[in-house]
Structure 1
Amino acid sequence: MAKKSLIEREKKRQKLEQKYHLIRQSLKKRIRSNFSPLSLSEKTKMREKLQSLPRNSAPTRLHRRCFLTGRPRANYRDFGLSGHVLREMVYECLLPGATRSSW
C-alpha cells in the first residue's frame, strides 16, 4: 500500500492539472501557431506566462496509480490496476475475459 501522503499529493496534482489545462493549452497553441504574426518578444512573454504556471499543473508530472493499492508503477491502463493485483484477481477469476497464462 502506498503512503497516503503520496496519494493525496497525486490528487492535488490532478486538480491543478484540470484547473490550468485550458490556460496551458491556449498558451501553447498561440506560441506554436505559424499563422499569427507574433514577434519574438510576444512569444517570449507567452513562454514566461507558461512558465509562471504552477509546476505541478503540468500533465507530465502526473502518475497513473493502482486503484486498489496506490502503487505508481506497472499499471495497466485497461484495468487501472498494478501488475501483481491484476494477476491475483485473474487467478481468483474476478476479471471476466482475462485468462491465466500457462506454458
Structure 2
Amino acid sequence: MARKSLIQRESKRQKLEQKYHLIRRSSKKEINQVSPLNEKSKIHAKLQSLPRNSAPTRLRRRCVSTGRPRANYRDFELSGHILREMVHACLLPGATTSSW
C-alpha cells in the first residue's frame, strides 16, 4: 500500500492537469502557428508561468486498489500482483495464469 500522502499528491496533480489542459494545449498550438521569434518567446513565457505540477509528464499511473506506482497494467488499472490474485480468485473471467 502506498503512503496516503503520495496518493493525495498524485490526485492534486491530476486536478491541476485537468484545470490547465486547455490553456497548455492552445499555447502549444500558438507556438507552432506563430513565426516571429519574439512572439514565440512570449507564448513560451506564458507556458512557463503555469504550475509545474500541471504538466502531463508529471502524472504517474497508479494501481486503483493499492496505489502502487510500478508494474501497472493499463487495461485493468491494477498492479501485477493484485491482478494475479484476482485471476487466481476467478474474479477476472477469461484470464488465465501459468504456473510451473
Q: How does 1:5-44 map to 2 (within 5 A)?
A: 5-33=5-33, 36=34, 38-44=35-41
Given residue 93 of structure 1, which amino acid in structure 2 is its aligned partner?
C
In 2, Cα distance between the equivalents of 1:75 and 1:102? 21
Deviations 1:50-103 (A, max 9, x none): 011000000000011001000000000000000010011111111111111245
Residue 49 (1) aligns with residue 33 (2): no
CA RMSD of aligned residues (A): 1.0
**Alignment TM-score, normalising by the size of structure 2:** 0.95
Gaps of 5+ in 2: none
1:71 aligned residue (46, 68, 73): 68
In 2, Cα distance between the equivalents of 1:28 and 1:42? 12
Q: The residue matched to 1:21 in structure 2 has which SS?
A: helix
Aligned positions, number:
100
Gaps of 5+ in 1: none
- Aligned-residue sequence identity (percent) comes to 76
Report runs of 4+ in structure 1 exceeding 4 Å deviation.
none
Shift of 1:39: 1.2
Shift of 1:19: 0.2
Q: The residue matched to 2:92 in structure 1 has which SS?
A: coil
Match of 1:90 in 2: 87
Given residue 42 of structure 1, which amino acid in structure 2 is its aligned partner?
E
In 1, Cα distance between the equivalents of 2:51 and 2:95? 41
In 2, Cα distance between the equivalents of 1:23 and 1:71? 30
